[in-house]
Structure 1
Amino acid sequence: MSRPRLRHVALVVQDAAAAAAFYRETLQMEEFHQDPDGSRFMTDGYINLALIQHRLDGDVPTGFNHFGFEVPDVDSVADRMTQRGVARPVLRGGDRPFAEYRAIDPEGNWFDLSSHGFLPPGTAP
């Protein structure tokens, strides 16, 4: 891989289980991960779709949330970002096997950076 590739899209949904069933049954996506909060992670084998469970006590509305890029080297991308006056990406917490860093573009849109991709571990594109 010589340049970043868009590999991940995340939506905040009211019912992650129902949304996952829709994508599984109508578009034949595979569910590969479920968070304790009920969020579901789907893949078509190339791009993954995060269906983030909406929380009534949260501050994030339903709809589009963020996207993610697989990059050959997070540090070099982070250096280019800071040279453009954008905040350096920060390490994300949690135990998911993807999305190591959270970044923000000049317009305030969130995106993730990962050097190992967003598909389930052991899955080749």
Structure 2
Amino acid sequence: MTRPRLRHLAFVVQDAKRMADFYRDRLGMEVFHQDPDGSHFLTDGYVNLALIQQRLDGDVATGFNHFGFEVEDVDVTADRIAEAGVPRAVARATDRPFAEYRAIDPEGNWFDLSAHGFLPPGIAD
């Protein structure tokens, strides 16, 4: 890999199971992970789709949430991002094993950076 690859999209949804069933049954995606909160994670074999279950006690509205890039070296990429005048990427505060770092673009859109990809450890891309 010589440049970052877009590999992951995430949406906050009201009914993650229903949405996952739709993408699985109608578009042939494969569910590869489900969180205890009901969030579902699917893949088409190249791009992963995170359907994050909206929580009533949460502060995130439904809709687009973030996207993610697979990169060769997170530190090098984080330095390049910071050179553009945005905050340096930081370690994600989550127990999900899909992405190591969170960053923002100049307009405040979230994106993840991962050197190992966006599938759980042990599942090959």
Which residue is 1:40 aligned to?
A: 40
Amino acid at match of 2:11: L
Give distance in 2, aligned partners of 1:122 and 1:2. Answer: 23
After superposing the two structures, state which structure 1 stretch, 104-113 or 74-83, moved more: 74-83
Give distance in 1, aligned partners of 2:69 and 2:96. Answer: 16
Amino acid at match of 2:26: T
Which residue is 1:100 aligned to?
A: 100
Asked if 2 retains the 8 angstrom alpha-carbon contact of 1:45 and 1:119, the reply is no
Residue correspondence of structure 1 range 72-91 to structure 2 within 5 A: 72-91=72-91
Amino acid at match of 1:12: V
The alignment covers a number of residue pairs equal to 125
Asked if 2 retains the 8 angstrom alpha-carbon contact of 1:46 and 1:119, the reply is no
Give distance in 2, aligned partners of 1:61 and 1:101. Answer: 22
Is there any run of 5+ residues in structure 1 with no aligned partner, and where?
none
Give distance in 2, aligned partners of 1:119 and 1:3. Answer: 19
Which residue is 1:114 aligned to?
A: 114
Give distance in 2, aligned partners of 1:59 and 1:94. Answer: 16
Is there any run of 5+ residues in structure 2 with no aligned partner, and where?
none
TM-score for the superposition, normalised by structure 2: 0.95
Structure 2 residue 9 is the aligned partner of structure 1 residue 21:
no
Percent identical across equivalent pairs? Answer: 75
TM-score for the superposition, normalised by structure 1: 0.95
Which residue is 1:60 aligned to?
A: 60
Give distance in 2, aligned partners of 1:120 and 1:79. Answer: 26
Which residue is 2:71 aligned to?
A: 71
SS at structure 2 position matched to 1:12: strand
Provide runs of 4+ in structure 1 moved above 3 Å. Answer: 120-125
Which residue is 1:50 aligned to?
A: 50
- Root mean square deviation, CA, Å: 1.1
